[in-house]
Chains A and B, each alone.
Chain A
Amino acid sequence: MTVDLPAATSEPPAIDAASDPSSGAAIPPPRWRHRHLLDVDVLSWQDIELVMVTADSMKEVLARPIAKVPALRGHNVTILFYEASTRTRISFEVAAKNLAADVVNVAAATSSVTKGESLIDTIRTIEALGADTIVIRHPVSGAPYLAAETFGGSIVNGGDGWHAHPTQALLDLYTMREHLAGGSLAGRKVTIVGDILHSRVARSNIWTLTAAGVDLWLCGPPTLLRGFESWASRGAASGRRFTVTSDIDAALQDADIVMALRIQRERMAGGLLPSLREYAARYGLTSERLETVHPDAIVMHPGPMNEGVEIAPDVAAGSRSVITDQVANGVAIRMAILYLLAGGGRG
């Protein structure tokens, strides 16, 4: 699969100027103008800032005695997942319920999909049943785009094939900003280790993190980095820089943020990895390997984890780990996205 990297569509990350609340009426508040969230590649830096600020308010709501507001009352959010998922599906469901939306869950395994109903027919049926927003996860890259062509409401991509997982990239960005002193990511070293090849999480994070101006490193066995070197050299021409390496020690040296990715056994064709044990020995995140990272570095993982493979159990549960924060922030980010797509933030 090749993904072309167009020139950066977003403004340079002028984080300090754009988000200073004391500047008041001087800077007009940004407007949300997207009907769908299919990928992060169409989001400007201002859009991303608006999602982050809205998520701040959602976190405040989550901290209340009654963590529920009526913003989406009467709004139907249908969650249509063609792939197994625990945290993303529950996260969207909790997010929608916290905004008082009506939530319908469709698990493809128990729906008419098993009788051969096409994606388009399924979307039309769900629309006829009153959905305003559909959150879709699909094993085929691009499926949410097909759904968006058919559906009259908003489509949120909850992960499609190897392509994109926009809410994960946004919650990762939010979590990183929360944990770094000053909140600015510009110039920080972020290392993503693991199965880059099959990872929609990595692909979406490349967009948001290069837009944020981080020093991004992708690390894994050469077979799981295939195609990314040429992407990196093309990206450099358009100002989106990242480093691709199989040298885990160089990748971890002085890193501010280390993100482990799951070894996706279900997507693994034969021959890409000699064995899980060899992968764990060469690339697994262990406390010994993390001795060279920045003293305040954090460790992330989008889940679900293969503990003992890409990440050692003591690292996953250790003091550097912000993995449970990622899960909690996921709810706030998804509340923000559902709210903005439903019309909040149009000003």
Chain B
Amino acid sequence: MDGRQIMTADEVRRATIRISHEIVEKQAGTAGLVLIGIQRRGVPLASRIAAAIEANEGSPIRVGALDITFYRDDLSLASAAPIVKGTDIGFDLNEATVVLVDDVLYTGRTIRAAMDALVDFGRPQAIRLAVLVDRGHRELPIRADHVGKNVPTSREEVVRVHLVEVDGEDNVTIERVAPVGELAGAVG
């Protein structure tokens, strides 16, 4: 593990459960509720939140995966555009309340792209946003409805969320890197 740890596995777990309660409270139930995780680490986070809601409320929550690669605004920039990881939304979004789930909220450009992608699938009644970490430095008028942890950062720092499903462990770290554009753009 590189960098300074800012969330332990237990804190990640508690934040996930708290977000699951907040989502149900805001929606006043689970009717019409669907979760869509943004590739890559938003997908396992969405599954965890859905499982927590299901455990508390007893009703199953549908979970989808969204890859926003084709909606990015930086394809023309050198070294941009990661490999596509796949979109899987096997249900109708019309009239649904969609909670987008991502690991880190940073510039807001990922969320802008995700909303562009979502409206191609239908017309949700509402779109909300849940993130494990909000690190600030927004470049667009976007905010999260549910936040696991607010972390003040500088642009020279990188916040890394690690999840068992992807990385083999649960935690969040922060580290200072040389101001290389490529790395700064890699998260969020």
Contacts and interface: CB of A to CB of B under 8 A. Distances in A.
B83 A53 contact: yes
Interface stretch (B23-31, B73-81, B150-158): B73-81
Contact of B116 (A64, A70, A342): A70
Interface stretch (B52-60, B64-72, B135-143): B64-72
Contacts of B167: 24-25
Contact of A70 (B70, B79, B81, B87): B70
Nearest to B75: A343
A28 to B, nearest CB: 10
Contacts of A64: 120-121
A71 B83 CA distance: 13
B67 A57 contact: yes
B78 A71 contact: no
A343 B73 CA distance: 12
Contacts of B70: 57, 61, 69-71, 99, 339
B121 A344 contact: no
Contact of A56 (B75, B82, B86, B121): B86
Interface residues of A, number: 28
A36 to B, nearest CB: 18
A29 interface: yes
Contacts of B79: 346-347
Give the secondary structure class of B's interface. loop
A65 interface: yes
B36 to A, nearest CB: 14
Interface residues of B, number: 25
B9 interface: no
A70 B69 CA distance: 10
B83 A342 contact: no
A54 B84 contact: yes
Interface in A27-64: 29-30, 50, 53-54, 56-57, 60-61, 64
B166 A344 contact: no
A60 B120 contact: no
Contacts of A222: none
Contact of B81 (A50, A61, A69, A346): A346
Interface string A226-253: 0000000000000000000000000000
Interface string A66-97: 10111110100000000000000000000000
A50 B121 contact: no
A69 B83 contact: no
A50 B80 contact: no
A25 B166 CA distance: 8
Given A66-B121, A347-B82, 6 more contacts: A29-B83, A54-B84, A60-B88, A69-B71, A70-B116, A99-B70
Interface of B: 67, 69-72, 75-76, 78-88, 116-117, 120-122, 166-167
27 contacts: A24-B166, A25-B166, A30-B83, A53-B84, A54-B83, A54-B84, A57-B70, A57-B86, A57-B87, A60-B86, A60-B88, A61-B87, A64-B120, A66-B120, A69-B70, A69-B117, A70-B70, A71-B69, A342-B75, A343-B75, A343-B76, A343-B78, A344-B75, A344-B81, A346-B79, A346-B81, A347-B82
